[in-house]
């Protein structure tokens, strides 16, 4: 028999930590060679803001020996549809040794991903949510017609992913539920064939809502939204016993930390933001700068990182600023299962300003030409 291990969440350094309201993703192998298990935790958004399919597949490939059982645990609001499809296919290729586990929520693209597992176990108090693909775009009428056609095609990919897991599900009923944004309990998911077994209930709420992201959906159950208001358990901070460093040493710490992380261009903003108050403040600023730089690189706007650090913005605020930048820039579209927040500002289309002088000059030139032609 394989050695059983309790589900745990680790940071990337391998240290056991309390789950925070952010993206958590890790792989771990347990047991001896003949009893080896591989566990993957996808706790957070799927895509550029969290776990990308490329990262998932590369990490799995590095750890997988081709024979060990693989358990993939989900607690995710979804995200990028194509990354979800890629993870779905990666799990499907593992065959019978792959088990998908829904610890709290598999919504949107995460529901597509988990259905790639040969066997899906959903916790008794967990949920699975399915809905239509969503995107944003800009352009003329032809651009919008093209995007609508793409959304119809991606819907077929979603339907195919669910029917691969539940081949006996009624096609018309499945499409109705997807169109209606349907939240399924554990028993309902099993009845439909999208899950195989109801497991023990787990208390996993810290990553569930990811701030106000759950409020993007139209029919999110009130009991899930209520968890957003729960006060997290915060342990009292340990007394800072680190030795006091002078400003020169703290400045050197900033310079060396930025160089090691490949963000030497952010030395000045970090120095200004921290004012070299203490080693703790400097270390926190370096960690934050790395995270903000990663978000800006993912959005292909790395030049904005220094501006965000100088403004004292946190990760949530930077995500919002980058989203606004991407939406207003146009130039294509992105398929994403995440719906807009209720308080997101409505997109506006600015009309091109009328150049009255140019119009007048053009008309005068045309009139002069006609006059010359009439006299000839």
Predicted confidence (pLDDT) per residue in 222-276, tens digit: 766 666 555 555 555 555 555 555 777 888 888 888 888 888 889 888 988 888 8
**% of the chain beyond a pLDDT of 70:** 67
Q: Please compute the mean of the pLDDT values over residues 307-334 and round it to a whole number.
A: 73
Q: Do 82 and 49 belong to one domain?
A: yes
Which of 295, 313, 331 is the last residue before a domain boundary?
A: 313
Maximum distance among all Cα pairs of the chain, rounded to whole angstroms: 103
Please tell me whether residues 158 and 32 are part of one structural domain: yes
R_g of the chain, CA atoms, integer Å: 26
* Count of other CB atoms within 10 angstroms of residue 259: 11
C-alpha 127/C-alpha 173 separation (Å) is: 19
What share of residues in the chain are helix, strand, coil (percent, to 5)?
Answer: 50, 15, 35
Task: Concatenate the DSSP letters of all residues of 152-183 into one string.
Answer: HHHHHHHHHHHHHH-TTS-HHHHHHHHHTTEE
| pLDDT higher than 70, residue 345 | no
User: Both 184 and 98 in a single domain?
Assistant: yes
Task: Check pLDDT > 50 for residue 115.
Answer: yes
Rounded Cα distance, 373 and 376, in Å: 5
Is 266 part of any domain? yes
Prediction pTM value: 0.58
Answer yes or no: are the C-beta atoms of 84 and 337 closer than 8 Å.
yes
Q: Which of 9-13, 126-130, 138-142, 183-187 has the lowest mean pLDDT?
A: 9-13
pLDDT at 27: 57
Domain end, chosen from 290, 313, 336, is at 313
> 3-state class of 270 per DSSP?
helix
Q: Please list, in sequence order, all residues whose beta carbon lies within 8 angstroms of the beta carbon of residue 123, skipping any fewer than 6 positions away.
A: 101, 102, 103, 104, 186, 198, 199, 200, 201, 202
| 38 and 66 belong to one structural domain | yes
Find the length of the chain.
Answer: 376
The mean pLDDT of 333-337, rounded to a whole number, is: 55
Weakest-pLDDT range from 90-94, 220-224, 306-310, 311-315: 220-224
Alpha-carbon distance of 79 to 240, in angstroms, equals: 39
Average pLDDT over residues 7-22: 32
How far is it, in rounded angstroms, from Cα 10 to Cα 41? 9
Does pLDDT of 79 surpass 80? yes
Residues 221 and 251 in one domain: no
């Amino acid at each position: 028999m394989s050695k059983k291990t309790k589900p745990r969440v680790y940071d990337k350094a391998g240290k056991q930590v309390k789950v925070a309201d952010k993206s958590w993703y890790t792989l771990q192998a347990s047991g001896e060679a003949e009893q080896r298990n591989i566990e993957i935790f996808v706790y957070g958004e799927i895509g550029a803001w969290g776990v990308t399919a490329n990262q998932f597949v590369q990490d799995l490939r590095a750890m997988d020996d081709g024979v060990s059982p693989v358990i993939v645990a989900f607690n995710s609001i979804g995200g990028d549809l194509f990354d979800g499809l890629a993870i779905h296919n990666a799990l499907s290729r593992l065959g019978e040794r792959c088990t998908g586990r829904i610890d709290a929520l598999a919504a949107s693209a995460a529901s597509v991903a988990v259905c790639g597992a040969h066997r899906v176990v959903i916790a008794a108090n967990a949920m699975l949510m399915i809905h239509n693909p969503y995107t944003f775009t800009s352009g003329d009428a032809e651009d919008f017609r093209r995007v609508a056609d793409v959304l119809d095609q991606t819907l077929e990919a979603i339907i195919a992913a669910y029917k691969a897991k539940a081949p006996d599900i009624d096609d018309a009923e499945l499409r109705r539920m997807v169109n209606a944004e349907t939240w399924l309990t554990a028993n309902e998911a099993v009845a439909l064939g999208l899950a195989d077994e109801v497991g023990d209930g787990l208390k996993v709420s810290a990553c569930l809502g990811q701030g106000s992201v759950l409020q993007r959906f139209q029919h999110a159950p009130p009991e899930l939204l209520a968890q957003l208001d729960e006060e997290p358990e915060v342990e009292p901070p340990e007394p800072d016993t680190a030795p006091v460093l002078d400003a020169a040493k703290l400045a050197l710490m900033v310079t060396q930390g930025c160089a090691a992380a490949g963000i030497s261009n952010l030395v000045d903003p970090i120095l200004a933001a921290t004012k070299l108050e203490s080693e703790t403040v400097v270390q926190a600023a370096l960690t934050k700068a790395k995270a903000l730089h990663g978000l800006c690189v993912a959005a292909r706007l790395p030049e904005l990182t220094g501006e965000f650090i100088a403004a004292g913005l946190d990760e949530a605020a930077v995500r919002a600023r980058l989203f606004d930048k991407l939406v207003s820039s146009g130039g294509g579209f992105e398929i994403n299962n995440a719906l807009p927040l209720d308080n997101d500002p409505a997109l506006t289309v600015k009309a091109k300003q009328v150049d009255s002088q140019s119009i007048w000059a053009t008309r005068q030139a045309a009139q002069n030409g006609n006059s010359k032609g009439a006299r000839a």
